[in-house]
Amino acid sequence: AGFALGAEAAKRAGLKSGEKVFVWGLKGQGGDRGQRTVGVIDAFEKAGAKVIYQEIDSATNADPNAGTATFVGVMKKDSDIKIVVTDHGGLTSNVSVYAKAASLKPGQVLFAGFDMSPNTAKAIEDGYQNLVIDQQPFLQGYIPMLNICLTKKFGFSGLDINTAGAFVDKTNVAAVAPLAAVEIRWRCVERRFFRDDHDRVEILRHGAVRRRLARGDGPRLRAAARPRGRGSRRRWPLRRTPRRVS
């Protein structure tokens, strides 16, 4: 997904050898997560661009607004940056804040990022966000369950499906935005009631938690999920018994 986004952004911006791009990512995390950022960088280096890389610090990772000063500083130092890639769903949804803080007009710099959300859709409509690769997390949850059922009932082998092949821009955001609003094309972590890594809830994957949040059960869920004692990793008190496949 990283290389695909970088290559597409370079193509759309008409990126030339020697031009500057800014990649704001999580290469330092290593593993599969870090490889996505590496893929973006590889695509730009293949195009001959000069890559300015900034690791997303812990404060910005937790609250994208905390990175505003960092972004403004980078853009002030290298005002000729042509493309900005935010390898983080939260930062991608916040690009209009960064652009306005750096006094950038819509379209002045090509912004590309990952994951759809209502804020990201609005940024695309307003012209600040130019390209988003949607990982289609609904499929990430649905296809494995379907695969298990097909294997159990009919003996099918595993499915190999790339869910990260959907680009969203101004030409198709009108179709995607309503789906993002109802969390079908939206990957986010709910932060209203939760204060640390033990408390985070992936809304799309935990529908039961989403329903309980809607009923105002946030404080009770938070208390139930709080670790008990040193080294405790107690998680959500949710039933996870799979349905039986006949």
User: What is the phi/psi pair of residue 112, to 5°?
Assistant: -130, 145
Q: What predicted TM-score, i.e. pTM, was given to this entire model?
A: 0.68
Predicted local distance difference test score (pLDDT) of residue 9: 94
Q: To the nearest 10°, the Cα dihedral for 66, 15, 12, 86?
A: -20
User: What is the phi/psi pair of residue 218, to 5°?
Assistant: -50, -55
Task: Name which of 142, 146, 110, 113 is nearest 128 in CA terms.
Answer: 110
Query: Model confidence over 94-150: pLDDT tens digits?
Result: 999 999 999 999 999 999 998 888 888 899 999 999 999 877 777 878 888 999 999
Amino acid at 107: G
Q: Residue 238 is encoded by which pair of tokens?
A: 């949710």
- Report yes or no: 114 and 5 within 8 Å, Cβ to Cβ: yes
Does the structure show a pLDDT above 80 at 195? no
pLDDT above 70 covers a percentage of the chain that reads: 74
Task: Name which of 84, 87, 177, 164 is nearest 128 in CA terms.
Answer: 84
Q: To the nearest 10°, the Cα dihedral for 191, 214, 164, 4?
A: -40
The least confident of 16-20, 173-177, 180-184, 189-193 is 189-193
Task: Name which of 197, 189, 188, 191 is nearest 58 in CA terms.
Answer: 197
Higher pLDDT, 45 or 215: 45
